[in-house]
Amino acid sequence: MSAQAQLFKDAQWQAWADSGKLAELERAATARQAAQADDEQAAVALALVAMDNGETKRLEAALQPVQACVERKPDSAACAYALGSLQGMQAMRGGMMTAIRLSGSIKTQLQRAVELDPLLFEAREALLQFYLMAPGVAGGSVSKARELAAAAQARQPEHAKLLRASIAGQEDKPAETERELASVRPGADLGLQSALREAWFALGSQYFSLKQLPNAKRVFEQMQRDYPGWAAGFYGAGRVLTEMGQADEAIQNLELARKLDGADKLPVDHRLGLALLAKGDKPQARLALQRFVSSAKHPNPRNLEDAKKKLAELG
């Protein structure tokens, strides 16, 4: 079994984070922050919630308490991780100049977090993603990513497999990614289970983007068996089936995805609208697309733009 540091000292908070119950985590953290404005764990928890939500205002609101935490507690791996991760999201959303401006701080904070607590997988994973995604002039380096993954092998061998899978994915080697993921044994580690589930979804999406539709379909169907209560496998299969011209099966998958955990993080109604259009059911397609456009949360602005375009075409 891999060793694993916990992001939160409170076992209940950690359980909420691991199981994706961030509404409960947010309520508890907000209450604690109201009682003690400089509480370290509350600042980290609200940063985690803001990153999951993705709204610019929430990210900005979460930033100041975490920055204060880093200044007040320079030995806190959790605060360094939260600050580096928040700045990473700002960099991705703010354009090239913002990314260049923040890259040094992002790298410094994430490296510091890993140094302070080498078993904090969230920090190691975030630093690895920085190395893979940042350009070389900003500190990106595939060789450093490999070194980071190798350093986890002795004490966190199952986590190391996920890190190697991420590197293979970045290098467009999905078969290698799949071999690594298939070998992971998460046991009872909820955090590792969650990371593995996300990695399988990323792999299925990569197969889809590479037009390897049978492989994508196979991965998403395996996700349905392994994670039947989560929307991602059914959503992914719906996309693939739409692309393969199997509109009825796609609609069935997407309708089921709408009812499952994690559906709010995915543009399910957008894809459902497209599947219904492929079937020729314009009235139901219009309803699905209108539902998507009027929803409070849109994971990707391009989905929203496309949905509005399709609605305009429907008249």
**SS3 assignment, position 261:** strand
Determine the Cα–Cα distance for residues 151 and 171; give it in Å rounded to an integer: 20
> For the purposes of burial, counting CB atoms within 10 Å of the CB of 156, is it exposed (0-12), middle (13-18) or buried (19 or more)?
buried
Query: What is the identity of the amino acid at 11?
Result: A
**Burial annotation 2-26 (CB, 10 A radius, 16+ → b, else e):** bebbbbbebeebbebbbebebeebb
What tens-digit pLDDT sequence spans the chain (315 residues)? Answer: 456 788 999 999 999 998 888 999 999 999 999 999 999 999 999 999 999 888 888 889 999 999 999 999 999 999 999 999 999 988 888 777 888 888 999 999 999 999 999 999 999 999 999 999 988 878 889 999 999 999 999 999 999 999 999 999 999 999 999 999 999 999 988 889 999 999 999 999 999 999 999 999 999 999 999 999 999 999 999 999 999 999 999 999 999 999 999 998 899 999 999 999 999 999 999 999 999 999 856 567 888 999 999 999 998
Residue 134 is predicted with a pLDDT of: 87
Q: Which domains does the chain have, with CATH numbers?
A: 211-315 (1.25.40.10)
Residue 81 has which token pair?
A: 């991780």
- 8-state DSSP, 100: H
Residue 137 is predicted with a pLDDT of: 76
Residue 1 is predicted with a pLDDT of: 45
Determine the Cα–Cα distance for residues 224 and 219; give it in Å rounded to an integer: 9
Residue 216 is predicted with a pLDDT of: 98
Residue 39 is predicted with a pLDDT of: 94
CB 172 within 8 A of CB 210: yes
Residue 2 has which token pair?
A: 């891999």
Residue 2 is predicted with a pLDDT of: 56
